Structure 1
């Protein structure tokens, strides 16, 4: 995994990085994040910032990151909502969907030509929102019972807030699954489809791409299954003492994103450990 057939390290031509826990905590920048993104832009290397959060559009996320001092171009942000829209466009072009979610998801679906409807939709698409309603969940359950296909943007069971943990897409998906007996198809991490869609967007190859994440069970496993080299930072969910509990390993483990700036500035350095 660490070298080409001739024994030399594989070059890194493309970087994918998770957002929360890698670049920011809520809206607080993680030291080194600004320098890492600036190094990527100066290098000319292709990159995407990935997030399972489907609430916000790339424009929204760019503004939020910029407020934290991190300047990521809008076109360099890839969300589970965008990946979901791409999947649906490939599977059933110009279809229809009943959507439980916010602007990040509805905008992505509108942009691929989908019709939002609660009458005989092709799909029920569940995303993240801070205002899940009993009425919308009930409608989703009844539409799935009537034959709509069940898609969810990501399986995250909870998300952070300043007040504490919030239920997220995975928790509500479990409720709907229990009521209908139908499991959703999750698009976001740890589904490697999220990584594949990001690679396709960049016209990049897995052999020369590195994925950076803070969660072994989502970022690292999805990168691994998509054939990428992976770097775990310990500024987020997976703590150093938990790493050995997983049956798979990241290519490299570092303290924070600050430790990776040198790898962008000096392409001859190998992330392969």
Structure 2
């Protein structure tokens, strides 16, 4: 199966569980990215994590042994900022989140305020404040629109799982009766904004991820080919329980090295 119109494949790839795992390089990830650069294939590294700026994430990846330019990193924070910029240019927001989200909103021309904001924007942080959550609830009750960067309920840490954006969003939703609009995966909006930033088309793009519920789901809804790697969250057994399936399942990103021109061929 070659790319339609004989155009080269463009790649969107998740970061955690695909390229790195707990700050360590996934074997083969460096060779995979080198092959993409050598062939001139367009690619973006995607993450639902809204804590870090692309500059932060570039430094993190460099520490792991991967050289990825800032311009090739697309986060749920960037996608959220682009969405709000398109929806209400020059708007205002009360933000629960860290530098990745606040920086993206500032660069999109947004004012961050606690006074009658257009939006309450919830992202990920390691220090969720009860005071800030209470403020968000009251602002939403007064009419602020509720946006969340991503629905992930938990995130990893060395000590175990941490509550993430989806869990805090559920708390706010329960208190207000207002559901958030999630911009990040599995919303295909994040895929489409990534495609636009690359000038790529869905029929010639592959989404690589380690989660069926976000990566593969959003890829399918955006009309992309999908590759599930088994080096992160999902397993073959858990993948079988979903009503949809990826185009290809491989053990790790290393299995795609040497195959980026035609990953769905015989080998």
TM above 0.5, yes or no, is: yes
1:203 CA displacement: 0.7
The worse-fitting range, judged by mean Cα deviation, of 156-165 and 36-45 is 36-45
1:46 CA displacement: 0.6
Which residue number corresponds to residue 113 of structure 1? 109
2:128 is equivalent to residue 132 of structure 1: yes
Q: Deviations over 1:136-165 (max 9, x none)?
A: 000000000000000000000000001110
What SS is found at the alignment partner of 1:104? helix
- Alpha-carbon distance between aligned partners in 2 of 1:272 and 1:128, rounded to the nearest angstrom: 39
Equivalent residues, number: 266
Which residue number corresponds to residue 202 of structure 2? 206
Q: Deviations over 1:144-202 (max 9, x none)?
A: 00000000000000000011100000000000000000000000000000100000100
Of 26, 34, 47, the residue aligned with 1:30 is 26
Give the 3 Å change call, closer, same or farther, for CA 236–270 of structure 1 in structure 2: closer
- Equivalent pair of 1:12/1:210 in contact (CA under 8 Å): no
2:151 is equivalent to residue 158 of structure 1: no
- Equivalent pair of 2:256/2:263 in contact (CA under 8 Å): no
2:79 is equivalent to residue 86 of structure 1: no
2:224 is equivalent to residue 231 of structure 1: no
Which residue number corresponds to residue 244 of structure 2? 248
- Equivalent pair of 2:2/2:264 in contact (CA under 8 Å): no
Q: What is the root-mean-square deviation in Å for CA atoms of aligned residues?
A: 1.4
- Alpha-carbon distance between aligned partners in 1 of 2:92 and 2:228, rounded to the nearest angstrom: 38
- Alpha-carbon distance between aligned partners in 2 of 1:38 and 1:246, rounded to the nearest angstrom: 33
- Alpha-carbon distance between aligned partners in 2 of 1:251 and 1:272, rounded to the nearest angstrom: 12
What SS is found at the alignment partner of 1:263? coil
4+ residue runs over 4 A deviation = 8-11
2:264 is equivalent to residue 271 of structure 1: yes
Q: Deviations over 1:26-49 (max 9, x none)?
A: 201111111111111111111000
Unaligned 5+ residue runs, structure 2?
none
Unaligned 5+ residue runs, structure 1?
none
- Alpha-carbon distance between aligned partners in 2 of 1:206 and 1:77, rounded to the nearest angstrom: 18
